[in-house]
């Protein structure tokens, strides 16, 4: 619809109404084309960013800003990885290669290939694939990744905090856990094991926190608890998993909320607080199949990923 102002301008210029209408239409058409090109350019940029982030399994807002690192009261930061580089920092991590099944009849071959373990967009990705793979230890129908900090990050006591999103599906078994560096009290579980978080893929809204101890296998004791989400799953959103380990207590947290504390444990032939009075190192892995989760079935989709925003270790400030 033409406005009165336009009619007045035609009269002032001496142009005929049809000529000016044609001119106005050409200007409008040019502006429309220019606007469309600008819109398409912005859309392509947004699509490129979205696809890049989706490839790594996240949106840009998932990455938390790292200008300052919040520190629990009474603690200081002693070790961390924010995964801001382009590759895994091998001064902090060891990549395990194994097809032994972790002693649990697991089905995966842990490899050091970049398709199974990589860093992208500020996140560590541990990716499980359904593929037939042959290595020095045989052939498996799944591959995955397992990394640890042994002799690169080992601690006695502290606050351990990991922000991560976990995989899901029957037969998936992601874990963030700790094992003793020297095993001073003998082989598993005499020297202990601390499971910060484990998840069974067919229960994606529930995680487990456990300690193992007792004596040399088959003398095996364990204590632990579970935490369930009221809505959503651990695969749809990032959550902060934390463990506070002191001389006589171990407490588990989800998103800052403590959900269990263990204060009683033992190991055969040694006084309390053994075995949890020695150096432990961190392990992150995605297992496929095994005695506890069972094996994948037709409902299980691949690839599956554990996505890690950061790993941080704090220790108490000396008085």
pLDDT in tens, 293-311: 999 999 999 999 999 999 9
Q: Of 198, 203, 231, 307, which is the active-site residue?
A: 198
Residue 174 banded pLDDT, cuts 50, 70, 90: very high
Segments making up each domain of the chain, as ranges: 4-53, 69-316
pLDDT at residue 185 tops 50: yes
How confident is the model at residue 102, as a pLDDT? 86
Q: Coil, strand or helix: which one is 146? A: strand
227/294 Cα distance (integer angstroms): 21
Residues 6 or more apart whose Cβ sits within 8 Å of residue 274: 184, 185, 266, 267
- Give the mean model confidence (pLDDT) for residues 29-53: 46
Mean pLDDT along residues 144-153: 98
Please give the sequence-ordered ranges of beta strands (E in DSSP) within the chain, or none if there are none: 75-81, 94-95, 108-110, 117-120, 123-135, 138-144, 146-148, 154-155, 158-165, 172-180, 193-198, 206-214, 220-228, 239-245, 250-254, 257-262, 280-288, 304-316
Annotated catalytic, 55? no
- The rounded mean pLDDT for the chain is 87
β-pair partners for 18: none
Q: Is the pLDDT of residue 46 over 70?
A: no
Q: Residue 305: which of 119, 135, 132, 48 has the closest Cα?
A: 119
* Per-position b or e across 156-177, b if 16+ CB within 10 A of its CB: eebbbbbbbbbbbbbbbbbbbb
SS3 state of residue 121: coil
Q: Is 193 a catalytic residue?
A: yes
Residue 97 backbone phi and psi in degrees, to 5:
-120, 115
Q: Among the CATH numbers 2.40.30.110, 3.30.70.2740, 2.60.120.200, 3.40.50.300, which is that of 69-316?
A: 2.60.120.200
Phi/psi at 21 (5° precision): -60, -45
Q: Which of 82, 161, 193, 307 is catalytic?
A: 193
Question: Given this model, what pLDDT does residue 61 score?
Answer: 54
| 234-260 average pLDDT score | 98
40-44, 101-105, 184-188, 204-208: range with lowest mean pLDDT: 40-44
The model's pTM is 0.81
What is the pLDDT, as a whole number, of residue 135? 97
User: Distance between CA 49 and CA 52 in Å, rounded?
Assistant: 5
Q: What is the spatial distance between Cα 165 and Cα 160, in angstroms, rounded to a whole number?
A: 16
At 72-113, the pLDDT tens digits run: 999 999 999 999 999 999 999 999 999 998 889 999 999 999
């Amino acid at each position: 619809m033409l406005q009165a102002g336009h009619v007045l301008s035609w009269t002032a210029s001496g142009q005929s109404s049809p000529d000016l209408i044609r001119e106005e239409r050409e200007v409008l058409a040019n502006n429309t084309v220019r606007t469309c090109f600008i819109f398409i350019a912005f859309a392509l940029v947004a699509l490129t960013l979205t696809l890049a982030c989706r490839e790594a399994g996240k949106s840009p807002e998932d990455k938390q800003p790292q200008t300052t690192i919040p520190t629990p009261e009474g603690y200081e930061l002693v070790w961390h990885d924010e995964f801001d580089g382009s590759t895994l920092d091998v001064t902090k991590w060891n990549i395990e290669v194994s097809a032994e099944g972790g002693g649990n009849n697991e089905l995966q071959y842990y490899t050091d290939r970049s398709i199974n373990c990589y860093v992208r967009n500020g996140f560590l990705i541990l990716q499980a694939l359904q593929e037939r793979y042959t290595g020095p230890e045989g052939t498996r129908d799944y591959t995955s990744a397992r990394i640890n900090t042994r002799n690169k990050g080992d601690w006695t006591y502290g606050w351990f905090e990991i922000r991560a999103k976990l995989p899901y599906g029957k037969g998936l078994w992601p874990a963030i856990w700790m094992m003793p560096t020297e095993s001073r009290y003998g082989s598993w579980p005499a020297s202990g094991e601390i499971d910060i978080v484990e998840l069974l893929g067919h229960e994606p809204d529930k995680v487990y926190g456990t300690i193992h101890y007792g004596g040399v296998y088959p003398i095996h004791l364990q204590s632990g608890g579970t935490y369930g989400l009221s809505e959503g799953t651990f695969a749809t959103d990032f959550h902060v998993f934390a463990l506070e380990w002191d001389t006589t207590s171990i407490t588990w947290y989800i998103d800052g909320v403590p959900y269990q504390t263990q204060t009683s444990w033992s190991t055969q032939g040694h006084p309390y607080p053994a075995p949890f009075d020695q150096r432990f190192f961190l392990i992150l892995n995605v297992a496929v199949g095994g005695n506890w989760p069972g094996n994948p079935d037709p409902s299980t989709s691949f690839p599956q990923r554990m996505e890690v925003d950061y790993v941080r270790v704090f220790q108490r400030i000396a008085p």
